[in-house]
Amino acid sequence: MNNLISKAKELLEGKAVHVVIGYEAGPTGVARPAFITDPSGADMLIYDDRCVQNLAVYLTKPEVKSLGRMAIVANLPVMRSIMMLISEQQLFAESIVVLGISDKGDLLDIADIQVMQAYIEKSDLSNPARDREPLTALNKLSPGERFSYWQKELSRCIKCYACRQACPMCYCTRCTVEVNQPQWIPVQSNTLGNMEWHILRAMHLAGRCISCGECGRSCPVGIPCHLLTMHLVDQVHDYFNIYAGTSDKMSSVLSTFEPNDKESFII
Amino acid sequence: MEATRKLIRRQSLEKLYNALSETRKIYAPVMAEDKQITYCYNPSFAEVTFDHIRSTMSPKNVLFPKVENLFYYTNEKTESVISVLDLNKIPEVVLWGAHPCDAAAIDVLRSIFCWEIKDEFFAKRLEKLVVIGLSCHQSDEYCFCTSTGLAPDSKNGSDILLSRLQGGDYQAEILTEKGQSIVDSLPDLFEPVTGEQVVITEVKQKFDHRKVTEKLATSFEHPFWVSNSLRCIGCGACAYLCPTCACFDIQDETAGRKGRRYRSWDSCGFGLFTLHTSGHNPRSVQSQRWRQRIMHKFSYMPERNESLGCVGCGRCSSGCPVDMNIAEQLAALQNI
């Protein structure tokens, strides 16, 4: 942690960056995002088990970007999100400094994208251990039981879109649900409309989700909606042998077509 | 009417609950499997919790449902035939066990929905609502009712306010004619008070809402808004959990020639909320939306509706995925 603080200070003092995006402890002890623009503020930075939010979501927010060149405290999910954002041309690799944090909480020396890629490649990229059990349990259900499970869970959705807003990959400035001519997805919160929204969200993240679980963590009513996207992480890996966020040149799994694809129905 | 105090034994509460449920729907807090506190209709008395600090969602759904049909229509060639809803079908409901913050929120909602034009849906639901409030014997670090001019035993909004006595029975304060008529219909359940003390939690004051309102009048352009809202991700959780947020969207949903118009909760935290047809958005960035949220509750509402738009329940902060702690921010704001 001291290494992180001194590195952040060094970057800010040397004007290498204008803002360091990291974590601080709020008054209730909850870790939350912090935007440090002054070297003296770097002492507030923390990194421990409480620091779970995926900070990469801020890399595409206009008011954060307007602060200037950014450094970001990046654990594995953040690093993978950065790879996806670069792949999808939402971020220039040169525009940020990555303060990588290892799974043991140590500061990594991430000099460039290649170093980051090497670190990601040697990490465990499958879904987090805590989520494997519920995923397996859901897979064991019959399709009817699984449908009932999600119907019950998603009927509680209040359409606050915290799941979308918390996701670094949901960077669209106008989401499909906000297109109202025609209105693709019902505005109201009801079971059918909620299911349409969550299925749409999951499908848009297929092959792009990096298993941070931020959507489920952010849900104020506790719907485990991260299990939907994480299930697709497993599916994409099974079918295509791909994990998202492993390089800065990822092509989109569900919208890339090649003449030698085994399916004959598109080309 | 003048408030009167009675004693109601723990075992009589169940009788009261069951008697009320014979003629009315009851909306009461229960603890779900995942430990979340949820208000639901007609749970059995055994399921109802008396020990919760706050429900995840506020009970405002009982007066301002998250989705409410306004009318149905059929399109016939060149005209539409409207069929209005019979509001008299709105049922009599008892809001049971609402903490004083949530009961006081009803007054705030009324100041919005019955401001100049009376919202007939809201007004009818309110007319048919009885509120059995429950004082707080416990609180947590997110509670700040005392900063908004309320207290853990405030009477605003309740028809009868229950407060736990040291021995486990309850004191019932009968506050309105509605409350009195319930007591009159079940006289055996209510006994004279004994002088036993009520157990009320202490909630520390975090800011002075008068100072906040005064400060807001001159701080519209202050850099505070940007620096304190950088972490806001722009979801609607705070507005939807809030017991006083009253904004709604109106939509038509048509299938073939038939359809309905409904309203559903909306949030000023969304970019789409103020997006004009021209493409211009007067609140184009999140700091402007966060400022609007605070300004509306602590500046515009005191000025126009003569009520503060916040009751200090703390849900916006406890439910925020990025710890936008409103009490902390207002405490800082009053001193900038």
Structural domain of B309: 4-333
pLDDT of residue B231: 97
pLDDT of residue B53: 96
The whole-angstrom distance between B318's CA and the closest CA on chain A is: 9
Looking at the complex, does the CB of residue A61 fall below 8 Å from at least one CB of chain B? yes
Q: Do A63 and B142 touch (CB under 8 A)?
A: no
3-state helix, strand, coil in chain A (%, to 5): 45, 10, 45
- pLDDT tens digits for range B150-200: 999 999 999 999 999 999 999 999 999 999 999 999 999 999 999 899 999
- Structurally, how many domains does chain B consist of? 1
Q: B38: nearest CA in chain A?
A: A221
Looking at the complex, does the CB of residue B226 fall below 8 Å from at least one CB of chain A? yes
Q: Is residue A266 pLDDT above 80, yes or no? A: no
Q: Do A62 and B285 touch (CB under 8 A)?
A: yes
Q: What is the mean pLDDT of chain A?
A: 94
Secondary structure (3-state) at A70: strand
Q: Do B322 and A187 touch (CB under 8 A)?
A: no
Looking at the complex, does the CB of residue B325 fall below 8 Å from at least one CB of chain A? yes
What average pLDDT does this structure show over A120-144? 97
Supply the Cα-derived Rg of chain B in whole angstroms.
Answer: 21
As a whole number of angstroms, the distance between CA B37 and CA B51 comes to: 10
pLDDT of residue B114: 95
Q: Is residue A71 pLDDT above 90, yes or no? A: yes
As a whole number of angstroms, the distance between CA B70 and CA B79 comes to: 19
Looking at the complex, does the CB of residue B66 fall below 8 Å from at least one CB of chain A? yes
What average pLDDT does this structure show over A94-105? 95
Q: Which residue has the higher pLDDT, B1 or A84?
A: A84
Share of chain A above pLDDT 90, in %: 86
pLDDT of residue B77: 87
pLDDT of residue A16: 97
Looking at the complex, does the CB of residue A132 fall below 8 Å from at least one CB of chain B? no
pLDDT of residue B89: 95
For A22, A40, B8, B232, the CA distances from A81, given in Å and listed in that order, are 15, 29, 58, 19
Q: Is B116 exposed, middle or buried (0-12, 13-18, 19+ CB in 10 A)?
A: exposed
Q: Do A158 and B265 touch (CB under 8 A)?
A: yes
Task: State the sign of the Cα–Cα–Cα–Cα dihedral B320, B324, B325, B330.
Answer: negative
Supply the Cα-derived Rg of chain A in whole angstroms.
Answer: 19
Q: Which of B231, B240, B283 to mutate to test the interface with A (most CBs of A within 10 A)?
A: B231
Candidate from B233, B265, B323 with C-beta closest to A30: B323
Looking at the complex, does the CB of residue B58 fall below 8 Å from at least one CB of chain A? no
The whole-angstrom distance between B39's CA and the closest CA on chain A is: 12
Helix/strand/coil (H/E/C) assignment for every residue in chain B: CCCEEEEECHHHHHHHHHHHHHHCEEEEEEECCCCCEEEEECCCHHHECCCCCCCCCCHHHHCCCCEEEEEEEEEECCEEEEEECCHHHCCCEEEEEECHHHHHHHHHHHHHHCCCCCCHHHHHHHHCEEEEEECCCCCCCCCCHHHHCCCCCCCCCCCEEEEEECCCCEEEEECCHHHHHHHHHCHHHCEECCCCCECCCCCCCCCCHHHHHHHHCCCCCCCHHHHHHCCCCCCCHHHHHCCCCCCEEEEEEEECCEEEEEEEECCCCCHHHHCCCCCCCCCCCHHHHHHHHHHHHHHHHHHHCCCCCCCCCCHHHHCCCCCCCHHHHHHHHCCC
| Residue B34 with chain A: CB contacts under 8 Å | 222
What average pLDDT does this structure show over A139-168? 97
ipTM surpasses cut 0.90: yes
- Amino acid at position A203, single letter: M
pLDDT of residue A255: 84
Where chain B has pLDDT below 70, the residues are none
Q: Is residue A183 pLDDT above 90, yes or no? A: no
Q: Give this prediction's pTM.
A: 0.94
- pLDDT tens digits for range A202-239: 999 999 999 999 999 999 999 999 999 999 999 999 99
Looking at the complex, does the CB of residue A218 fall below 8 Å from at least one CB of chain B? yes
Share of chain B above pLDDT 90, in %: 93
- pLDDT tens digits for range A38-52: 999 999 999 999 999
Q: B319: nearest CA in chain A?
A: A220
* Residues whose CB is less than 8 angstroms from the CB of residue A179 and which lie 6 or more positions away in sequence, other chains included: none
Looking at the complex, does the CB of residue B290 fall below 8 Å from at least one CB of chain A? no
What average pLDDT does this structure show over A109-123? 96
Q: Do A183 and B251 touch (CB under 8 A)?
A: yes
Looking at the complex, does the CB of residue A46 fall below 8 Å from at least one CB of chain B? no
The whole-angstrom distance between A51's CA and the closest CA on chain B is: 11
Q: Is residue A179 pLDDT above 90, yes or no? A: no
Phi, psi of B290, deg, nearest 5:
-65, -45
- Nearest Cα to B134, choosing from B92, B165, B177? B165
| Residue A166 with chain B: CB contacts under 8 Å | 233, 235, 321
Looking at the complex, does the CB of residue B262 fall below 8 Å from at least one CB of chain A? yes
The whole-angstrom distance between A30's CA and the closest CA on chain B is: 7
Pairing of strands B248-255, B25-31: unpaired
